[in-house]
Amino acid sequence: MEKRWVAQEKADAQTVDKLSKELNIDEVLAEMLVRRGVHSFDEAKSFFRPDIRHLHDPFLMKSMPEAIDRIERAIANKEGILIYGDYDVDGTTAVALTYSFFKEFHSNINYYIPDRYNEGYGISTQGIDYAHDLGYSLIIALDCGIKSIDKVAYAQEKGIDFIICDHHLPGDEIPDAIAVLDPKRADCNYPYKELSGCGLGFKLIQAYADKNKLPQEKMEAYLDLVAVSIASDIVPITGENRVLAYFGLQKLNKNPCKGLQALKELAGKTDDFTITDIVFSIGPRINAAGRIDDAKKAVQLLIADSTELAEDAGFIINLKNAERKEFDSNITEQALNMILNSPEMEHRKSTVVFNESWHKGVIGIVASRLTEKYYRPTIVLTQSNGMVSGSARSVVGYDLYEALCECSDLLEQFGGHKYAAGLTMKPENVEAFSQRFEEVVAASITDDLLVQEVSIEAEIDLKVITPKFFRILSQFAPFGPQNMSPVFRSRNVYSYAYGSIVGNNHLKMQIRQPNSPIFDCIAFGFGEELEQINKGKPFDVCYTIEQNVWKDRKNIQLNIKGIKTY
């Protein structure tokens, strides 16, 4: 697929020069720091050396005192507490963290995850009835609830109090709960707004630990779960999230909870986990429980207190993930064939595909796959409980939610944000919706947004890539949204020796420039470029810089993201 190489805007030259001299680092690295909001030696020290003391006081969050007071009262009075969370990775890690922490101080506590298919997202009437029937008088909701006005009112009628910990954008009205913890509230002055749902659970236990003068290790024991949520929920890895992710990855790599250790072993990798590793190996396995079966099994895994229990739960979840992969692969193939067999569909500005038999739990994944393939706003629809449900994904720069608003008269309900959404409609509206959505997208999307962008951090000569340069670059990690692994561009490089095809159409080669070292390169999916780069003519590359480990040998390797031949 063709991609646009777009250079990032230059940072202020004077600031870059000053920082480069203060830190004694290359100006390329200094400019990267300035782009990330680092302008002084002290700010660079905080960036490169995260400290758990950099976390904000949890009591700066609106409603936190009320939340802690209510929890303390429930514990003192031996009230039943129900920890309630969403069925995705963020929700299940949040429930596991909060339940495990408070279980140390309170025995009358349980957890609840709604069924994706029978109850849907968020707080459900069934969940509240469950709490009432079993005598729970306090529900702590995590990663959901900020718009559950009617459900909180229903719980009050049943004599149940709510504490809501949600990171989603509130509506015009805040639920009438005992406490509503959400840094995105307009009336909340908490300094950092981008916490994950599990991150909010962490702030809750941090507040309880601080007020009750508990050892810091009590809350730090759960940082591996927070790192998994940050990676899987794709929240920005900036500010407080960067501190949580940094120490969470350390915990995940050195001493994870038994459930995450089991998942690491099932993934076939037990050390040097990165945010990317979580996204592709741990997150999908946890998510598979709720997509294919019951998300409570994910919580059972994450709270397992013995290796045997963790391995048993992990084995079941791994089977569900294999089943999810099979559904995903089959449905993606069917959807691609639908597009290929319809010339009219192949040349649209949007994709809408529907099959009433597709598994609802994986249509979001399929929508992402189709977006990767055709790079245009995409909706995958299936039938469920007499209605048609869909998952939507967008491309960078295009507001999918606004496009759905233009089709709202054909929908029963929809929700989400700029790049991802869910929707429901009557079966008889599918054809009209597909046509309307295409009309809206065609009228509002620009051609450049339909070509995937590669954001170039800097243009450098290969000789810049020294061991010192790479050592400092590695300290920019953990990488993720708003702190992505930097992509560099080098012009007029040559293939040092003949390249070759390895694996499934991957290009392996060595490149150099005059007076530069020779660098090993891997270019995934670029096999078709072999003939051109073997001609001995110069070409441009864009790439990330990484360390390749083979047996006991470590060397710097360029991971090629684009090739431009002349």
The sign of the CA dihedral 232, 335, 331, 390 is positive
User: What's the distance, CA 468 to chain centroid?
Assistant: 31
CATH number of 330-450: 3.10.310.30
Average pLDDT of the residues in 424-444: 97
Query: Please, what's the b/e burial string for 216-248 (b: 16 or more CB within 10 A of its CB; e: otherwise)?
Result: eebbbbbbbbbbbbbbbbbbbbbbbbbbbbbbb
**End-to-end Cα distance, the chain:** 18
- Quick check: 551 pLDDT over 80? no
In whole angstroms, how far apart are CA 31 and each of 378, 421, 490?
A: 36, 35, 17
Span 142-153, pLDDT tens digits: 999 998 999 999
Contact predicate 403/381, CB 8 Å: no
* Rounded Cα gap, residues 77 and 72, in angstroms: 9
Integer-rounded Cα Rg, in Å, for the chain is 25
Strand arrangement, sheet containing 420-425: 351-354, 378-384, 387-393, 420-425, 413-416
Average pLDDT of the residues in 29-37: 96
Query: What percent of the chain stands above pLDDT 70?
Result: 100
Q: What is the pLDDT of residue 554?
A: 84
Span 489-516, pLDDT tens digits: 999 999 998 899 999 899 999 999 998 9
**Confidence bin at 566 (pLDDT 50/70/90):** confident
User: Which tokens in the block code for residue 329?
Assistant: 């692969």
Indicate where the chain has its CATH 3.90.1640.30 domain(s). Answer: 58-319
The three-state (H, E, C) secondary structure of 71-131, written as one string: HHHHHHCCCEEEEEECCCHHHHHHHHHHHHHHHCCCCCEEEECCCCCCCCCCCCHHHHHHH
**Which ranges constitute the DSSP H helices of 357-464?**
363-374, 400-405, 430-444
Q: Is 481 helix (H, G, I), strand (E, B) or coil?
A: coil
Contact predicate 397/449, CB 8 Å: yes
CATH architecture of the domain with range 3-9+454-565: Beta Barrel (2.40)
Q: What is the pLDDT of residue 109?
A: 98
Number of neighbouring beta carbons within 10 Å of residue 477: 16
- Quick check: 347 pLDDT over 90? no
Contact predicate 32/8, CB 8 Å: no
DSSP symbol at 53: G
Span 99-129, pLDDT tens digits: 999 999 999 999 999 988 788 788 999 999 9
Least confident of 214-218, 247-251, 419-423, 445-449: 419-423
* Rounded Cα gap, residues 210 and 199, in angstroms: 16
Span 60-77, pLDDT tens digits: 999 999 999 999 999 999
Q: What is the residue-averaged pLDDT of the chain? A: 94
58-319 topology per CATH: inorganic pyrophosphatase (n-terminal core) (3.90.1640)
Strand arrangement, sheet containing 161-165: 109-112, 80-85, 136-142, 161-165, 179-181
Span 276-312, pLDDT tens digits: 999 999 999 999 998 888 899 999 999 999 999 999 9
Indicate where the chain has its CATH 3.10.310.30 domain(s). Answer: 330-450
Average pLDDT of the residues in 161-165: 98
Environment class of 259 (CB within 10 Å of its CB; exposed 0-12, middle 13-18, buried 19+): buried
Q: What is the pLDDT of residue 1?
A: 66
Span 350-408, pLDDT tens digits: 999 999 999 998 999 999 999 999 999 999 999 988 999 999 999 999 999 999 999 99
User: Which tokens in the block code for residue 456?
Assistant: 């170039």
Q: Which residue has the tokens 């050195």?
A: 254
Phi then psi dihedrals of residue 156, to 5 deg: -60, -40
Indicate where the chain has its CATH 2.40.50.460 domain(s). Answer: 3-9+454-565
